[in-house]
């Protein structure tokens, strides 16, 4: 069974590592991104149907309790992770896609080649162009795996910037460097060296 390529249209992206591999515990892992997909989006049905087909073909429908899915209902994820508590995640699924190879990352417009006269994709080289909260189009492929555990992962193939969105997740940083008014005379307000403004 050959898995089909699935297009995600106009979805929000979070935690993108598109031009450089993600760093986890000081080590390079993979290129990756997580997409917020509303439950009302028609692609959810397509993803679920393909996962069912993969389970039947690859695993004969025998799914252990430890089976892992790349597509997760936000209600299930929230039980284990408080960072998804913002309202922006409501009524959504999260899909995390990864790749060992750099995905195609392009702009939402094309340029005309002065020699051939043909339209060409404009590659994105600035890693700050696509940020958490922005809207993108993406191509992914569902891939089954059975070692060390069993599950279905998503391979990240391409991402097209669509439009900027509100910075997301919305979090207010905590600053313990501010002094309180009562102790103003006894404290000197200083900016830590590691704070970059």
User: Distance between CA atoms of 21 and 58, rounded to whole angstroms?
Assistant: 29
- Which residues fall within 8 angstroms of residue 43, CB to CB, at 6 or more apart? 6, 7, 8, 9, 37
pLDDT in tens, the chain (197 residues): 667 899 999 999 999 999 999 888 888 889 999 999 999 999 999 999 999 999 988 888 788 888 888 999 888 777 666 667 677 778 899 999 999 999 999 999 999 999 999 999 999 999 999 999 999 999 999 999 988 888 999 999 999 999 998 887 555 444 555 555 555 555 444 544 544 43
Asked whether 48 and 19 are in contact (CB, 8 A), the reply is no
Could you list the residue range(s) of the whole structural domain that residue 152 is in?
5-170
Give the model's pLDDT for residue 185.
Answer: 54
Token couple for 100: 């060992």
Cβ-contact 78, 60 below 8 angstroms = no
Q: What whole-number distance in Å separates Cα of residue 58 and Cα of residue 146?
A: 9
Positions of E strands within the chain: 5-17, 23-24, 27-28, 31-38, 68-69, 71-73, 92-99, 104-112, 119-123, 135-145, 151-163
Q: Domain for residue 194, yes or no?
A: no
Query: Is 193 a member of any domain?
Result: no
Number of domains composing the chain: 1
Residue 177 lies in a domain: no
Q: Is residue 189 part of a domain?
A: no
Q: Is 74 left (phi over 0), alpha (psi -120 to 50) or beta?
A: alpha
Spatial separation of the C-alpha atoms in residues 125 and 105, rounded to whole Å: 8
Within-domain flag for 101? yes
Task: Say if 175 falls within a structural domain.
Answer: no
Task: Assign residue 144 the CATH number of its domain.
Answer: 2.40.50.140
Say which residue the tokens 């439009």 belong to: 163
Total H helices, total E strands in the chain: 2, 11
Answer yes or no: is 37 within a domain: yes
Alpha-carbon span 151 to 66, nearest angstrom: 8
Q: What share of the chain is helix, strand, coil (3-state, %, to 5)?
A: 15, 40, 45
Q: What pLDDT does residue 81 have?
A: 64
pLDDT of residue 82: 66
- The answer to whether position 53 is within a domain reads yes
């Amino acid at each position: 069974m050959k898995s089909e390529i699935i297009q995600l249209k106009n979805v929000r992206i979070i935690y993108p590592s598109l031009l450089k591999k993600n760093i986890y515990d000081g080590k390079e892992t993979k290129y990756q991104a997580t997409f917020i997909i509303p439950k009302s989006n028609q692609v959810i049905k397509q993803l679920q149907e393909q996962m069912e087909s993969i389970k039947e073909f690859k695993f004969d429908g025998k799914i252990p309790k430890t089976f892992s899915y790349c597509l997760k209902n936000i209600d299930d994820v929230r039980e284990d992770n408080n960072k998804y508590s913002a309202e922006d995640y409501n009524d959504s699924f999260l899909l995390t896609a990864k790749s060992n190879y750099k995905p195609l990352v392009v702009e939402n417009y094309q340029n005309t080649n002065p020699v051939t006269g043909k339209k060409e994709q404009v590659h994105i080289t600035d890693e700050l162009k696509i940020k958490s909260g922005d809207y993108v189009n993406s191509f992914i492929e569902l891939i089954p795996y059975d070692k060390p555990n069993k599950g279905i992962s998503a391979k990240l193939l391409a991402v097209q910037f669509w439009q900027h969105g509100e910075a997301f997740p919305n979090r207010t940083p905590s600053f313990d460097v501010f002094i309180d008014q009562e102790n103003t005379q006894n404290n000197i307000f200083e900016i830590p060296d590691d704070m970059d403004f």
